[in-house]
Amino acid sequence: MSILTALSACRSADFLYLQRLTGLSKGNLSSHLAKLEEGGLVRVEKEFVGKIPVTRLALTRLGRAGIERHWQRLEALRRDALGWHPEV
C-alpha cells in the first residue's frame, strides 16, 4: 500500500526516490513492483540518462482507481467507527 499511496501523489517517481520514501530494500521494492506491474497496477519504464540507468514508475489507470477505492473504503470505515456507540 505504501508504494501505491506514494505513486498516487505524483505522475511518476524514480526507483531510488520510491525506495527512500517507503524504506524498502532494493530487493523488496523490486519484488513488490514486479507483482504490481504483473497485476496491471503499476507501469515500469527503464531508460538511460546519459550513462546512468533510471527506472521510472507510475500508476496505471487501474492502479489509480484501485488506490482511490481503497482510501474511500477506509474513510467510510473510519466514519462508521466514529459513529458507533456500544449498546448499554
29-76 residue pLDDT tens:
999 999 999 999 999 999 999 999 999 999 999 999 999 999 999 999
Q: Indicate the class that CATH gives domain 2-83.
A: mainly alpha
DSSP code at position 1: -
pLDDT, residue 68, reads 95
Q: Does 86 score more than 80 pLDDT?
A: yes
Domain boundaries of the chain, sorted by first residue: 2-83
Answer yes or no: are the C-beta atoms of 67 and 4 closer than 8 Å: yes
Residues 6 or more apart whose Cβ sits within 8 Å of residue 15: 29, 54, 55, 56, 57
Provide the residue count of the chain.
88
